[in-house]
Amino acid sequence: MDAIMSLCKRRGFIFQASDIYGGINGFWDYGPLGAQLKKNLREAWWQDMIMNPCWGRKGPNGRRVECVPVETRIIQHPKVWEASGHVGGFNDPMVDCKETKGRYRYDHVMVFVPESGDAGDKPVFAYVGDQPSESKQKKKAEKTFGAVKSVALSSIPQPWTRVIAPEAEKPGTLTEPRMFNLMFDTIPGAIKDEANRAYLRPETAQGVFLQFKNVVDSSRVKIPFGIGNTGTSFRNEVTPRNYTFRSREFEQAELEFFCHPDESFKWYEFWRDFRMDWWKSIGLAGENLILREHAKDELSHYSVGTSDVEYRFPFTFPEFGELEGIAHRGNYDLTQHQKHSGAKLEYFDQERGELLPNGSKRGERYLPHCIEPAAGLDRGALAILCEAYTKDESRPSPEIMKFHPRIAPIKAAVFPLVNKDGMPEIAEKLYDAVRARFAKVGFVEFDEKQSIGKRYARMDEGGCPFCFTVDGQTATDQTVTVRDRDTGAQSRMAMDQVVKFLEDKLGV
């Protein structure tokens, strides 16, 4: 992970937010390559979920899947979050350290104890995984006890008088767990009155439920159909960690797919399978990607099924971390908003109900059930970065980012082999043509500096799938070399075939 993070900073994928001020915990920015990578990921989601859902696959009803987008706001009426359950229930238990003022998520705190389990009256050492505290505390614990093992803080009886908190010196400074609401709040408007307190959304999904009726009334959608939304969400995570994986500000891409209750389970299975295929299609195709069906006791009370698409990140290894949750939400959200707002959110389905003598159907009024594939774009981008990172010591520059061509931020590069004999002029012409065609999907680079080997190496690190080089032969036979990032192999092709070649490879 350290190597990936260092490449991400060096090549401008990910930077700490407010880096020149020392950073701010839980917030990350994207540099030029990272911003385009994320845009490509968002666009791929938008295309394959909204504009041409499921690549034109037919749903379980035998018809093409229909979806429309909305763009809803980060701040909504505060009652939204009471109705959704976030004001009352979106809490994590946390413990505070009275000595360092550190705050930790209770279920993330582990403790090093002697391997035998019996510490006598000696203190034991708490830490949070993947934080600097882990190795520091381990060293201290091993000095005190020799061999150690780690147990969850929750397995140690309270009060924790002998527990030394992660960054603390003295034992007994951890408070008992208290619930902590994960929503950021703010007061819009000039009057700082408690009654005006609003929240920054912790998920984009609620915006869809709020506009469900307006969408039905203003467009020609008919059940079953989906409404998708991408955008920034905020969660005041107690212990942001693992790079961008658990941040306090992140981007989600969520679809709410509304269907008749009788058909909801089939749609749930359909979306679960498609989402797995989708992540595979953009390059996460290996044993690092799994679909995990939740056990019955993990499900929310209203859900009849939830699955997570999970990726094995270097920092979760050998375990997996969630990229996306696909949940059957029943009609919970529409029921709640109907109750709390007083608005009627039922759908009138003209294609259901008994057949009338005039040949039409009587119709049926109901609250649709909802299947929600909820993906995280920052976690998706991070999984793509981890999967792409490849080390090949046999290559002159051993670090290669093997992005899927659709997601790669740099799509192609054009080089003159040397800066003479008319090569730069020909290369610039080719560059203009390629850029004119592909700039809408990513960077097209022109590079004439340094040795050709160094230029290839730079492109490998940036994950550029194809480099085209104009050389001495070009002027005579109008061919260039194309070099493949993944194999390093080079072949010749006619210069006027380059755009067509890229169209095929990039799928645009």
Give the 3-state secondary structure of residue 279.
helix
Smallest separation (angstroms) from ligand ATP to the CB of 225: 21
- Among 256, 324, 387, 460, interactor with ligand ATP by CB under 6 A: 324
For β-strands 466-470 and 479-484, DSSP reports them as antiparallel
Smallest separation (angstroms) from ligand ATP to the CB of 182: 9
Q: Which residues of 59-94 are buried (b: 16+ CB within 10 A; e: fewer)?
A: beeeeebbbbbbebebebeeebbebbebbeebebeb
Under a CB-based contact definition with an 8 Å cutoff, are residues 163 and 123 in contact?
yes
Contact region with ligand ATP (CB under 6 A), list: 80-88, 150-158, 320-328, 429-437: 320-328
Q: What are 110's two structure tokens?
A: 């582990």
Contact region with ligand ATP (CB under 6 A), list: 360-368, 374-382, 442-450, 473-481: 374-382
Smallest separation (angstroms) from ligand ATP to the CB of 372: 9
**Number of residues engaging ligand ATP in binding (CB under 6 A):** 16
Does residue 260 bind ligand ATP (CB under 6 A)?
no
Smallest separation (angstroms) from ligand ATP to the CB of 310: 9
Contact region with ligand ATP (CB under 6 A), list: 255-263, 285-293, 376-384, 409-417: 376-384
| CB-based contacts of 114, cutoff 8 Å, min separation 6 | 145, 146, 147, 148, 149
- Among 13, 30, 199, 250, interactor with ligand ATP by CB under 6 A: 250
Under a CB-based contact definition with an 8 Å cutoff, are residues 353 and 362 in contact?
yes
- Among 325, 368, 416, 462, interactor with ligand ATP by CB under 6 A: 325
Residue whose structure tokens are 């799994």: 290
- Among 216, 323, 426, 495, interactor with ligand ATP by CB under 6 A: 323
- Among 11, 312, 379, 458, interactor with ligand ATP by CB under 6 A: 379
Does residue 376 bind ligand ATP (CB under 6 A)?
yes
What single DSSP character describes residue 122?
A: S
Would you give the binding string for ligand ATP spanning residues 219-238, x where CB under 6 A is met? ----------------x-x-
Q: How far is CA 362 from CA 264, 306, 344, 357, 477, in A?
A: 22, 34, 20, 10, 73
Q: What's the rounded Cα separation, in Å, for the pair 13 and 232? A: 19
Smallest separation (angstroms) from ligand ATP to the CB of 501: 35
Nearer to ligand ATP, 110 or 441 (CB): 110
For β-strands 466-470 and 410-416, DSSP reports them as parallel
Does residue 322 bind ligand ATP (CB under 6 A)?
yes
- CB-nearest residue to ligand ATP: 376
**What are the strands, taking DSSP E only, across 86-224?**
91-96, 103-105, 109-114, 124-128, 148-152, 163-164, 178-181, 185-186, 198-199
Strand order in the sheet with 109-114: 148-152, 109-114, 124-128, 163-164
Interface contacts to ligand ATP, rule CB under 6 A: 203, 235, 237, 246-247, 250, 252, 322-325, 374-376, 378-379
